[in-house]
A and B are shown apart, each in its own frame.
Chain A
Amino acid sequence: MRKRVAIVGAGMTYFRSMLPMTPQEMVYEAVRKSLDDCGLEFKDIDAVVSGSAPDAFDGYHHKGLVGVEPSGANGKPYSRVFVGGGTGVGAAVAGWWHVASGVFKRVLVVAWEKMSHPYPHAQPLFKTIFEPIVEQPLGPNLIWIFALEMRRYMEAHKLSKELIARVAVKNKGNALDHPYAQLGAKITVEDVLKSPVLVWPVHRLDISPSSDGAVALVLASEDEARKITDTPVWIEGVGACLDSQFWTNRDLAYPYYVYLAAQQAYKMAGITNPLKEIDVFEPYDPFTYKELHHLDALLGKPGLAPKLLEEGQLERDGDYPTCPSGGLLGVGNPIAAAGLMKVAELYWQLSGRAGKRQVPNAYVGVAQAWGDLMQVAQVVVCRS
């Protein structure tokens, strides 16, 4: 019999391009805040699930182990989840397994990233994620494949760059109200279009920054959650789906694997019409078009998200508030931490703690992350 699982606390560090802290210190800060948020102590935690991106970003192996001491996991079950860019939400899904299984009652989920360790930039290290025989010799960079996907998406639905640029305007604007955001800004569509073209059609302002940061959540079983807080936010559905490493097998216009993961989560949560039943959407937005691409799949309707964007429905005061946090484009993109930030945003929104970012009448939300070679989808549905 599956146990009901609640989020009872959350905490995060600033997201910044270079935090003058070690990974251990960032993890500690996020965990300390999440425990203080719900009045628990390190000793109250039964197990820890952590998430962080490839070891190459830090230049040393088993870097997941740095999370043990500052999360208080010494002498406890501790695991590191890794599913590329999907890791942040994937860690929350794995945390859910721990509690839903009935094995653990109070579980800490923590994700962190230090993108500033490699220099001059983390970008060359992304080359190592490509298949070594047929792709790496061509010298691809990460933006390169997303530019291909963006182009395909634009063609499939006859989308203009002007329209897609509005995602950056919206999310960076939303991030102005996020106290930990790296790139909150009031910008215009013109600013995006005038920013340098990196890999056409991707401009500089279409891309989230590289960031340092950490986020932590406290999960609890139903009986524990009722004792800990009056405002638990329930994880009602989780979904996870992977597609082949060979992205050349897919039609890049629609991330069907995200659709499948969302359907798993909706089925568990009893959601049949996401458009009507969900109040807050936090799709993964490392690039402007990705927010729309993913929202299409979360809604199960290819091409609908750009229409909603055009009508202004994705604004915080619209009918389908999307990335009210400011997303990766605005808050920042410390890979694994960025995904978990989206789940934390659901917790803050659905428990009425989102401050200036608060979406009115928010009871049900969905968060999603995506990663590896355009193949991973991780989805969490929450309800207050």
Chain B
Amino acid sequence: MSIESFYEYPTGVALSRFLEGLRLGRLIASKCSRCNHTVIPPRAYCLKCYRPIKEYQIIGEEGRIATYTRSFTNIEGKPANPPVTWVFVKFDGVDGGLFHILDPSIIPQTGMRVRPVFREHRIGSILDIKWFTAV
């Protein structure tokens, strides 16, 4: 049996704000107007008190590497040349974080301050961030 199916996903209420932010070169988090809990990527509901989110906020783009890894294979299991460094970046005062690629010229360290490098041509995608680089 062979079935070809494609999938289309709506980005929804919260992530469409996030992606529009990326298009404009900004990082957008959701902020609860009741308990102030702030999360990136944004949610449509508060993860602490479960009220609907009414506020979306631009956050400071500088974060720190919470953890990282270096991949020597690509998604097909073939050698990645050059190897890719993946980082998990947390932002001050914001819950959650972003997973992305690290500038290959940087040697990563936990706690290192990093910032996103936005592409010149942006379309509202997570790939509008080229990678994170050292501050």
| Stretch from B19-27, B44-52, B82-90, B103-111 at the A interface | B44-52
Q: Give bound CA distance, A223 to B125, whole Å.
A: 51
The count of chain A contact residues (Cβ–Cβ below 8 Å) is 29
- The answer to whether B9 touches A20 (Cβ under 8 A) is no
List 6 A-B residue pairs with CB atoms under 8 Å apart, sorted by A's residue number. Answer: A21-B13, A24-B12, A32-B45, A70-B45, A117-B8, A120-B6
- The answer to whether B50 touches A118 (Cβ under 8 A) is no
Interface residues of A (CB under 8 A from B): 18-22, 24-25, 28, 32, 41-42, 56, 58-59, 69-70, 72, 116-120, 124-125, 127-128, 132, 136-137
Main secondary structure of the interface of B (DSSP, over half): loop
- The answer to whether B6 touches A22 (Cβ under 8 A) is no
Residues of chain B with a CB closer than 8 A to A116's CB:
8, 10
Q: Is B135 an interface residue (CB 8 A)?
A: no
- The answer to whether A124 touches B3 (Cβ under 8 A) is yes
Q: Is B11 an interface residue (CB 8 A)?
A: yes
- The answer to whether B7 touches A25 (Cβ under 8 A) is no
Q: Give bound CA distance, A56 to B47, whole Å.
A: 28
- Among residues of A, the one whose C-beta sits closest to the C-beta of B52 is A32
Q: Give bound CA distance, A247 to B90, whole Å.
A: 54
Q: Give bound CA distance, A56 to B52, whole Å.
A: 30
Residues of chain B with a CB closer than 8 A to A125's CB:
3, 5
Q: Is B94 an interface residue (CB 8 A)?
A: no
Q: Is B117 an interface residue (CB 8 A)?
A: no
Q: Is B75 an interface residue (CB 8 A)?
A: no
- The answer to whether A59 touches B12 (Cβ under 8 A) is no
Q: Give bound CA distance, A41 to B49, whole Å.
A: 9
Using A41-B50, A59-B5, A124-B5 as known contacts, say yes or no to A28 and B10 having CB atoms under 8 A apart. Answer: no
Q: Give bound CA distance, A42 to B11, whole Å.
A: 25
Beyond the given A22-B13, A41-B50, A69-B47, please list 4 additional residue pairs across the A-B interface where CB-CB is below 8 A.
A22-B44, A70-B45, A118-B5, A137-B1
